[in-house]
Amino acid sequence: MTNTFTNNGRNILLNRLYLDAPTYTAPSKFKVGIESVTPTVNDNDLTRAVPILPSNVMDTCESISGWFPNLTNTNTLNTTSYKTGTGAINLVKNDITSVDCNSLRGITAVDFTAKTYYGFFYLSTSIYAILEPTTAAVEIRIGIDSSNYYQFTRTKAQLSAGWNTISFTSSTAVTVGTPTITACTYLSVGYYTSTITDITIDGDFIYDNLVLANAASYTKIFVSGYPSFNLATNEATIRCYLSSVEAIGYLIDSFGLFNTDIAPLMSETDTFGGESKSQKDEFALIKVVRVL
């Protein structure tokens, strides 16, 4: 495990040590995430925090009911390869008249304002080989209908064979038509192949657990009773805990400590070998700080 004590952490320490009435709050919450770069003392957040609990579950993908594939393409239930629950959905391209294979459904209205869409998408090596090579390979939509939506695409180069976590906000998506961001009732997922005659089979393209996350989705308070202190050894121990229902499906390789200021400050971050968080796992993240 590698620790980085940030400049914000130093400022919090000095503020609370030397002011009679500190203006910074003490760290009491944590985030977990996926680091793509080496943390530095100037960091204000994790590179890519992941939601501990979503704010909205749009579809658990435990059933194909309500999903409508285009043309003659089909949805089937996959109870072998999935990220959460007991299953996920296959999207199978049977049609040979178009490179576009997609499936749509209606959902109970959700507010997409200041939230991030998350979904898990699996690509077999077979389908990865035939994906559209240069432009959009996977396309996701959320909106009010098939003419008014926020659209997010990933090219083949931005994806890999295996499970991919795809996330986006309204500001990182392309707006098509005039969707109502406060009442989105339409979802669509799909992919494009190289040629119209390309076909796929069950297990080639799988999607699971389509959710939204707001700011509160990413943080959780320390375990009750922590930090604890050992004054004889000048140590403070912090314990962070993820239950079996939290942060499911994500490859977690870092956590950061945050205070509760209006604009929360990250005092430090720790990175470690990535661990995939399944729905059978509980994670205890324990940090001991010693003043020498």
Domains of the chain by range and CATH? 2-52+219-290 (no CATH), 56-215 (2.60.120.260)
Which residue, chain included where needed, has tokens 């499970």?
Answer: 163
Query: What are the phi and psi torsion angles at 175 (to 5°)?
Result: -90, 125
Strands 235-242 and 283-290: antiparallel
The percent helix, strand, coil of the chain (3-state, each to 5) is 10, 45, 45
SS3 255: strand
Q: Summarize pLDDT for 238-287 with one digit per residue, the tens.
A: 999 999 999 999 999 999 999 999 999 999 999 999 999 999 999 999 99
What is the average per-residue pLDDT within 192-203?
Answer: 98
What DSSP element (H or E) covers 130? helix 125-130
Residue 234: pLDDT over 90: yes
Is 148:142 a contact under the CB 8 Å cutoff? no
- The 8-class DSSP code of residue 193 comes to B
Using pLDDT thresholds of 50, 70 and 90, give the confidence band for residue 37: confident
Residues of the chain with pLDDT > 70, as a percent, come to 100
Report whether pLDDT(178) > 80: yes
- pTM of the predicted protein model: 0.93
pLDDT at 35: 83
Locate the DSSP E strands across the chain.
Answer: 2-5, 29-33, 56-59, 68-69, 74-78, 88-92, 100-110, 116-123, 136-145, 148-155, 162-168, 174-176, 184-192, 205-213, 220-221, 228-230, 235-242, 251-258, 266-276, 283-290
pLDDT tens-place string over residues 75-121: 999 999 999 999 999 999 999 999 999 999 999 999 999 999 999 99
143 class by beta-carbon count within 10 Å (0-12 exposed, 13-18 middle, 19+ buried): buried
Q: What is the pLDDT of residue 10?
A: 97
Question: Is the Cβ–Cβ distance between 220 and 240 less than 8 Å?
Answer: yes
CB 104 within 8 A of CB 186: yes
Mean pLDDT, residues 209-215: 98
Quick: pLDDT tens for 54-81. Answer: 999 999 999 999 999 999 999 999 999 9
Distance of alpha carbon 73 from alpha carbon 94, whole angstroms: 5
Q: Are 83 and 59 in contact (CB under 8 A)?
A: no
Indicate the range of 30-39, 122-131, 261-270 predicted with least confidence.
Answer: 30-39
